[in-house]
Structure 1
Amino acid sequence: MTRAMTPDEAYANSTYIPDGESYYARWAGQAAAFRATHADAELSVPYGAGARQSYDFFQVSGPAKGTVVFVHGGYWMASSPRDFSHLAAGAVSAGYACAMPSYTLAPDARITDITLEIAAAIGSIARRTTGPIYLTGHSAGGHLVARMACVDMAADWSRRVARIMAISPISDLAPLMETSMNEVLGIDPAEALAQSPVHLARQNMAVTAWVGGAERPAFLDQAQWLGAAWDCDVTIEAQMHHFDVIEGLQTPHSAMMRALLR
């Protein structure tokens, strides 16, 4: 008899990716190398008073066509924009500025609070830019950008959002209540309902869910739940897993970037 998968196993990633633990150092190295070649980058621009309430901003030479905002993952508990600077390469090469906000990590903030921080960050970014805004985020960041599409998050900048791409998103928080992560996240049924995009109405915004075909089944489910709830595009990129699925953001003409900026 096949043993049932535990909730922790369902949402584990690096354990099920060959040499998965090596990605963190690899990303940090690629990010540092990208920043070294972009001396005009503005790092840690504040959008609030909190220690992690800032964003990194990568300029383009000449007028920008718009701005891509990338929100990092890490289950709301780990990582920072500085680990993913290299993912700005596709946007900048295509003529778009790229902003990468940071946010207070759990347990110092609940997911509800983090959601409001990302909204504040986008508001700050919108005030310094012109043209369309494209929001994308990975994993927990996918959840956060999807939340920006919800009716309760409507803001002055919402009308400028041309597309939201939620990459490997968590669209329903309820399953995470059964994982050991919830000892840190502290999600309760009320927050799961109030902060899960699948239970919320969407603004009139174009949304794409993007997920790797080789991801954990739970992440394929989460992306498809969002597609079903919002009747939005769902792209399953064959053979890509939870860590390499974001690599399309590095190349201006990748399928991912074409879908984001179309």
Structure 2
Amino acid sequence: MPRNLDITSLRSFVTVAESGGVTRAAGLLHLTQSAVSMQLKRLEESLDTRLLERAGRGVGLTAAGEQLLSHARRLLEINDDIYRRMTSEDLEGELTLGVPHDIVYPAIPEVLRRFAADYPRMKVQLLSSFTRALKEQYRRGQADVILTTESACDPGGETLATRRLVWVGAPDGSAWRARPLRLAFERNCIFRSGVQRRLDEAGIGWEMAVDSDASRSIDATVSADLAVSARIEGTEATYLEQIDHGRTLPELREIQVNMYVADHGQGPAAEALAEMIRNAYAAV
């Protein structure tokens, strides 16, 4: 007699394998740790084999677990595709997603591609602006989901990632050695005043090399080795690079990437989009 695998247990197994631990997986699945552990135990008992083993503070896959993982992913993709196609017919309309321009890459293009494939009757309008402007549009009800880069998270939001702010300049550039240090930031950039303050505290003179609200002007100035700037680690463009300054520049603060989802308008669709964004950041 054929035996059936439990999709819920498979989802817990895949999430634990990808996130590296039961605690993290429980948060991603919105379950308790004991519930996830019970599902894993049930799956191992049904297959009569051990799938996971402890590795330091996390967990690792056994040989059987490695073999199961790729099959489980495919099963979940098929399950989720069937569910979406059979239940998303009424998800029709338009969503507005706001994202600061410096964190559009690398996660958002893939999220938009997947959302369009899964919900073909939904349109997503992408707003790219500064955190302050996006939060104001969100407050006015002009955006359904926004991402922000902030030092803290406001009530009603959730933190997707905490990343370091790093100095960036032209590849093999030398602008970071100049004193006063020439800076390039948009007028409304939320990082600008904090970077200036850290330089003041370190006793390093600085001056603004460009006065613009256009990110292209800022990037052109920095890539020409006429100034330096700061970016969230991992989001710098290919024509810029992190500066190996040997501690001659002050360390910069950590930044939170936060998400806010409105409780008005396209509720189910907005939550579906938000879940894809969560998963994209969890996978990084």
Fold agreement, TM-score > 0.5: no
TM-score by length of 1: 0.27
Q: TM-score, normalised by structure 2?
A: 0.26
- Structure exhibiting the larger radius of gyration computed from Cα positions: 2
